[in-house]
Structures are given as structure tokens and as C-alpha cells.
Structure 1
Amino acid sequence: MTMTADPTDRSRAAAPYELVRPGAHRVPRWWRDAAGALTWASMLVVVALWVHGGGVADLLTGGGTTVTTLGRVTGLVATDLLLVQVLLMARIPFVERSYGQDELARRHRLVGFWSVDLMLAHVVLVTVGYAMTARVAVLAQTWDLLVDYPGMLLALVGTLLLLLVAGTSIRRARRRLRYESWHLLHLYAYLGVGLALPHQLWTGAEVLSSPLATLYWWTLWGAAAAAVLVWRVGVPTYRTLRHDLRVTAVVPEAPGVVSIWMTGRDLHRLPASAGQFLTWRFLGRPGWTRGHPYSLSAPPTGDSLRITVKALGDASGDLLGLRPGTRVAVEGPYGRLHEGVRTRRKVLLLAAGIGVTPLRGLLESLPQQPGDVTLVYRARGEHDLVLRREIEDLAAQRGARVVYVLGPRVRSRDSWLPQSAAGLDDAAALRDIVPDVADHDVYLCGAEAWMAAARTAVLAAGVPEDAVHVEHFAW
């Protein structure tokens, strides 16, 4: 394990200062609480509407009525969660800035599995309940529902599409698919949700049971549709047209690594901060319709943006041959790796490999006094240190500390350390480098497995969970 010396004069006390620059997009903590409260409130409203419509009385009746009303309440909660799932990934600014895409994606997946499970329970319970009430066979009742009830065939197709999406969201299935294929299949979820709507409006007793219920469901459906149209379609289209981004230079940084510089109109109005990522589409090239997330590797200026990309796959490898003048469509900015989530004066930037790019931007943009910021940069060897000269120049200018942790990874266990330090405890090694790490905000970026090990070490070293800021790019 190789480290640098500490270049700062730590005998001098840091002067007080604001943790976030004036005009930066600070994230109030209550935003997160508000988003969570709204999610739970929506489910409480659904259950309350079911109770108001006689759900409890039907539950106590027994027989087919009890089974049917259980099917209805599971269907209502499944539909609510389905729309919550859409809203989670609609890029609503206060939700996205509170949670970040990493955590939203995990919650989206969890809510999706719950909604599909409850939807299947709804189908089974309602079919069995109707069959018990009519005293017919379950298969005969199934056929009757599909043929004689309006909207049921569309609902069946929608359910099958949602099952397809859920199946391809299982981790093992995702690993077998290319990202582009998985993403295309995932878009069918919107079609599945849309095909379920006629069934609810035509045969959903709870939706039509009262003006209040009808108003609630129409409002929720409308909010979900509007959020997708505005934040997933409208805003990215507007920003792409307004800023008219174009590639101005492609600069080699290391073997297989380039920085892509772009310029455009009114970039001072693009609400992006150093460390955040955007989804980029480089127009006029094969596969341009597929967006890919890359972080800003330098603070945005009024007339330029920069990303730094390593050739890790077909898409990123193709960018090495980008030509100046290429037009760029952009979506974002997204992510929690920015100064707006900062809660403490001292900051640890913990990076591995190409994950250093957003943290290099933060090293430059964070308000700081000498000794407040430490960058720990994990890499296989010195030849893998991307943007090293920039980082060292910035550290000298800002009084930050840089520590290089070099060597091949530990193979005997999950660890953020190199093989040369395999005998050390992960948290203890972190405290050796940054003795007061528990008093720091920690920003983490690197490969998936490495970040999981580093996050475990950071928490074990005493850093509170809400002071650890992570963004994963794995899908």
C-alpha cells in the first residue's frame, strides 16, 4: 500500500465558512422525509377508501365475498405501488436530489416486486372469490372474466408485460442481458401500466365507488403520467435544444481514457454541480439512442462541460473516436455526489479507478480550508491514476490531502484495500489514514464490489449512515 505525505499545515485551525457555495443546490433534509411520507400516505388513502366502500364489512361476511374483497384491496395497493414505482424513476427533482439514482433504483426494484406479487394475489383472489360466489369452477370463472368483463384482456396483456419486466429485473437475469436489451424490455413497464387503466375504470368497483375515490385515482394516474412526460421527456428535450451542446475536444488522459469537452449556449443555466452525472447521447453515431451516464469530471463553467470516460465496454470504447462538432443530447443532472448534500466541515473523498472523476470535480468545487478535505485514491498501479497531475495541483492549491492506495485487489475476501494490505482490518486501515474519519462526510465512487466493501469499512469506522454519499452506476 502506497501513500503520499500530508502536504497541509494542520497546526493552523481552519476558519469557519459556509459548507455550500452561495447559489449551489443545497438539499434540505426534510425533502427526503416528505417523499417517504407521501408514499406511505398514498397507501393509507387507498386502504381508507377500501374501508369507506364497505371493505371491512365484506371481509367479515365470509365465503366468496371475503375472498373477493381481499382480492380488491390487494389490487388497489398493487396499483398504488405500481404508480409509486413510476414516480420513483420519473426524475422528480426533489425526490431525485434527496435519494439519488442509486437508492431510487433499489427502491424502484423493491416496490416493483411487491406490486407484481400483490397484483398476482389480486388476480387469484378475485377469480376464486367470484367462482365461490357463483358456485362455478375456477377455470370457468377465469374464462368468463376474460371474455365478458370489459378491459380484462387488456389487463391480462398488461400483467404479462409487467411479469416480463419483473423477471428481467432479477439479478441473475440482468447479468445475462446486455444493458441495451434490458433497458428496452424495461420500457414495456409503461405499456403494462397503461393497459391496466381501462380495466380499473370499467370494472373497478372501488375506483368508481365514490366521487372521492374517483378523484383520488384520476389524480394519481394523472400525476404519474405528467411526471414522466415532464421530467423524462419534456425537460431533457428542452435542455438539449436550449443548450445546443457540441463536442469541442477529445483529450487522451491515460491508456483507454479520454476527457470529452463540450460547449453550448447558456450553460450557466444548466443546474449541474461538480460530481453529478448526466445521461449523454452523442448524436449521429451508431447506437446514439442509448443514453449512458457519465459524471462531470470538472466543475461546469458558463461555457463548457467535461466528462472523463474509460473504455470499459462497447459504448464507452466508441467515445474514444468522437469527433469535434458532434451534437450532444443531455438528460440530467442527477445523483448525490455534489456539495448540496454535505453536512460536515471535513470531507473524505474515497475513489477507486475511473470513479475518481466525479470526486476530482468535488475536490475543486468544495468550500474548504487547508486540511479539511482528504482524497484517498485506490488504483492497481501508478499507470492507472487518472487525472493525477490535476488532482495534485488542486490539492496543493486548496490545501487538501491526497493518499494513493496502490496494488492489485485482495482476492481472499471483499475489501477496499490492496493485496499488500490484506492482513489489515478494513476499518482500522481507514482510521490509520484518516484518524478522525468519524467526523467526516464521505463521498464514495468506484466499482460496485469495491464500493460495497468501502462503505462497510466507512460505517464500521464510525461514520453515520446519513453522512455517506454513494452513487452506483451498475444496473
Structure 2
Amino acid sequence: MLRKLLFWSVAFMFPLPLVLTYDALAREPEQLRFYITLGFTAYAWWLLAILLSVRPPWLERLVGLPSIYGLHGMLGIFAIVLAYVHRDNSYSGSRLAILLGDWSFYAAVGVFCFSVFFLSGWLVDRVRLLLTAKRLLERVFRHQLSVWVHRLNLVIVAMIWLHAHLLVRVNQYFAFMMLLDLYTVAVLSIYAWKKWIAPDTYLTATVVSNEARGASTRRLSMDLDHPSVGIRPGDFFFLRFEGTPAVRREWHPFSVTDDDQKTLSFTIRQHGDFTGSLTGVAPGTRVRLEGPFGRFESIVRKQDANAPLVFLGMGAGVAPLLSLAAAHHTTREIHVLWAVRDQQDAYYRDVLARYQESSGGRMRVTTQVGRFRRGDLTDLLPAAAVSNGAFFIVGPNPAVLANQRLLRRIGVSSRRIHQERLTM
């Protein structure tokens, strides 16, 4: 909790040098200075949002990607609010500066609305009608288009930067403008390095097998060119397949199914235009891997050694839980709950049975067709697990949210529920 509070405090600290520098130099009336300060605070928050979008692995290990994405989204909202107040209460003699300010504001509102609907689960995962509408619209607004629309934030930043340089009330303060330019150049340089240069330094691998698992799931295995000692149970990577015409060169997150640090396996449900094309990935295909990411293993290690671990997976969501079970089934009390669409989708039943057999009675496995209901969880989970256990949920966003609600209703504390959603 302390780490997350410190992390969110970055939103306050990041624009502070700009605020203090401008306040020390500016000679405008106090009210006008206030509205100008709101403008470049919004700009600093847009820059910080871009910085967070590169997913620094060290930061992810500290607070997790959900927290990073959460602050990224909230910065977008707060920046638009501040920009609106700044726009309605400031004035300039430069016609071009006014136009750039207006264009950047309307573009930011458009990107925000698009992102909330297509790149975030804030609304669509909680309102079934919106989720249905999103799935229909995704046939036109595919993932790659969504990513490029999101990158319009770079154009917005460029317009705001030029807008600031055209304002006499701002550009007359040399020290402030130098600091503003330093912020801009530093953030955009980090973004450019991470997106276009750093991939050459990522882990690389070769696909060795691509097998069907059930009606709509595939298991891809790949040999890393060099073993990675940084991989931990429950981790996931962003993968990009190289030189395969059937699959676009996009980055997508997938969880590791086992705890091998040389040959990685990924269990992927084919849902959507990208995952649907994974059938065309042949052995020998080269892959780049960004990561690893994930905090499940560090959370497990912080739990009391006698506290039960409850792994609740929906469909392909069992993948990271399998790797955790592989690592801990001989030393921890574990109960795996796996919900599948039908019996043929229980493709890891034998693997789980093997873990259970070698666990010395520490591990229990329950596989069920259809989602677990409140009555199921009440009957299956002993009182010790409900009162003291650590719960790990993985699956599609709506299913994860539904199971979180069920667990809270039967008495599981929110702080003991940890989740990973398959659609970030």
C-alpha cells in the first residue's frame, strides 16, 4: 500500500519544478498566473502519462501494471479537466497559439473517449450493453488502429509545446522555457528509445511448437536464445512475432504457463483478430519478448507460510496459475479452481492431476464447466481459506470482476484478492 501511495504521489511531484520555477519568475497578475499554471500542469501530466506508457519493468515489479495503467488513465482525465479550466480563463494575442491550444484540447478529448471505450475496461467491463457494442465496433476499429489513435498523444504534446512557445506571457522567461523543453525532450527521447530502439535488446526466442488446446485455445512453446533468470512463476510477457505474414507485428501480453526459464510455453485463447491468426505461427518463427512482468510470485512470498493459496482461473486464465502451482505445490497448501466452457477445454487436467499427486496432499483441484457461483465457492472453500487465504484470479475482465464480488460476499477481504485480467 505504501509503495502505491508513493507511486501516485508522483502525479503531484512531477510538475512541481515547473510550478516553482514559473512562480518565481512570473510577473503576471496572480489570477492569470494561476490559470497559466493549470495549463502547464496539464502538459506535465500528459508527459508523465506518455512516460508511464513505456511500462518500465522495474516500476512494474514495484507496483504492478494495473497501478501503472490506472495512473496513466487518471492523468489523462485530470489533464483534460485542467486544460479545460485553463482554456476558458486564459487569453492570448497570438491567433496560432489559440488554434493550437483548441486543436490539442479537442484531440485530447477525442483520444480519451476512444481509449475509454476501446483500450480500457473502466466502462465496458461493467456494462454488458457497452461490451456488446465494443465487440461489434472492433470489427472496424481493430487493435492496431486503436494503438495508433492512442499515439496521437504525441501529436497533442507537440501542439501544446508549440502553443507554449508562442505565448509571450510564458516564452519571455528563459529559465522556465529551458526547463519545459528539458521535460519534453527527456520524455519523448525515453519514449522513442523504448518503442523503437530498446526492442533490439529484448529477449528473443524461436517457436518450437504450436498446438491446439480445446476448440479455441492454442499452446505455443518457444526456446529462448539465452535463459532468463529473471522469469518468475506467474509472469507474463508482451510478445511480437517476426516475419510471419499471417500475424501482424504487434505487441500483445500473454502469461507463461510453466516455470521453465529456457523453454517458455504460453496458453492463448483465440479471441479477436490478432489471437485468431496465431494458428498461422509455424515452428521456427522468431519472437521478441518484452518483460517479464508480474507480481504474483512476490505476493506469494510475502504470505504467511501456513496461509492457503487459492488459484481461481477462467479458461486460458489458468496459465499463470499453473506456473505458480508448479513452483509451490510441494511446499504450500493450494486449491486450484478452474472454470472451463466445456469438458474438452479442460486441457490441463492431467498436468494438474500430476501436481496434485506429487503434492503430498497439499494441493486440491476443482475443475468445473461454467463459472463458479456463490454456493459453489461456499461449499468448496474451507473456513481457513476464506479467513486467511490469499486469492489469485485470472481471466477475462468481466469474469474477474464478477468473481471478486463473489469472494467479497462470502467474506474474503479485498486486500487478500489479487487479480490479473487477460484483456488489459
TM-score, normalised by the number of residues in structure 2: 0.83
* 1:254 match: 214
Q: How does 1:419-438 map to 2 (within 5 A)?
A: 424=375, 428=378, 432-433=381-382, 435-438=384-387
Does residue 443 (structure 1) correspond to residue 392 (structure 2)? The answer is yes
CA spacing shift, 1:403–1:391, aligned 2, 3 Å: closer
CA distance, structure 2, for counterparts of residue 354 and residue 328 of structure 1: 21
* 1:90 match: 54
CA distance, structure 2, for counterparts of residue 174 and residue 115 of structure 1: 25
Q: How does 1:48-127 map to 2 (within 5 A)?
A: 48-53=20-25, 58-59=29-30, 66=31, 68-127=32-91
* 1:404 match: 366
* 1:456 match: 405
**Counterpart pick for 2:281 among 292, 308, 322:** 322
* 1:225 match: 188
Q: What amino acid does structure 2 have at the position aligned with 1:471?
A: E
* 2:158 match: 194
**Counterpart pick for 1:146 among 90, 95, 111:** 95
* 2:124 match: none
CA distance, structure 1, for counterparts of residue 238 and residue 43 of structure 2: 29
1:108-127 deviations in Å (ceiling 9; x for gaps)? 22211221222132222113
Q: What amino acid does structure 2 have at the position aligned with 1:252?
A: A
CA distance, structure 2, for counterparts of residue 174 and residue 113 of structure 1: 21
Secondary structure, in 3 states, of the residue corresponding to 1:74?
helix
Secondary structure, in 3 states, of the residue corresponding to 2:246?
coil
CA distance, structure 2, for counterparts of residue 299 and residue 204 of structure 1: 59
Q: How does 1:299-448 map to 2 (within 5 A)?
A: 299-301=259-261, 303-339=262-298, 342-344=301-303, 345=305, 346=307, 347-366=309-328, 369-370=331-332, 372-399=333-360, 400-404=362-366, 406-409=368-371, 416-417=372-373, 424=375, 428=378, 432-433=381-382, 435-448=384-397
CA spacing shift, 1:253–1:435, aligned 2, 3 Å: same
1:274/1:365 contact within 8 Å kept: yes
2:94/2:166 contact within 8 Å kept: no
- CA drift at 1:321: 3.4
2:313/2:394 contact within 8 Å kept: yes
CA distance, structure 2, for counterparts of residue 46 and residue 458 of structure 1: 45
CA distance, structure 2, for counterparts of residue 106 and residue 33 of structure 1: 13
CA spacing shift, 1:268–1:334, aligned 2, 3 Å: closer
CA distance, structure 2, for counterparts of residue 385 and residue 425 of structure 1: 18
2:310/2:385 contact within 8 Å kept: no
* 2:250 match: 290
- CA drift at 1:464: 4.5
CA distance, structure 2, for counterparts of residue 375 and residue 248 of structure 1: 29
1:87/1:224 contact within 8 Å kept: yes
Q: What amino acid does structure 1 have at the position aligned with 2:151?
A: L
- Provide the alpha-carbon RMSD of the alignment: 3.0
CA spacing shift, 1:43–1:254, aligned 2, 3 Å: same
Secondary structure, in 3 states, of the residue corresponding to 2:265?
strand
Q: How many residues align?
A: 401
Q: What amino acid does structure 1 have at the position aligned with 2:180?
A: W
2:11/2:75 contact within 8 Å kept: no
CA distance, structure 1, for counterparts of residue 329 and residue 348 of structure 2: 21
Extract unaligned runs of 5+ from structure 2. 118-129
* 2:123 match: none
2:238/2:252 contact within 8 Å kept: yes
- CA drift at 1:462: 4.8
Q: What amino acid does structure 1 have at the position aligned with 2:29?
A: D
Extract unaligned runs of 5+ from structure 1. 1-28, 60-65, 131-143, 410-415
CA spacing shift, 1:396–1:425, aligned 2, 3 Å: closer
Does residue 161 (structure 1) correspond to residue 133 (structure 2)? The answer is no
Larger Rg: 1
Q: What amino acid does structure 2 have at the position aligned with 1:221?
A: T
Identity of aligned residues (%): 19
CA distance, structure 2, for counterparts of residue 255 and residue 218 of structure 1: 54
1:287-329 deviations in Å (ceiling 9; x for gaps)? 422222111111132x311111122223222212321111112
Secondary structure, in 3 states, of the residue corresponding to 1:118?
helix
* 1:265 match: 225
1:70/1:125 contact within 8 Å kept: no
2:312/2:338 contact within 8 Å kept: yes
- CA drift at 1:405: 5.1
- CA drift at 1:162: 2.3
- CA drift at 1:461: 4.7
CA spacing shift, 1:281–1:219, aligned 2, 3 Å: same
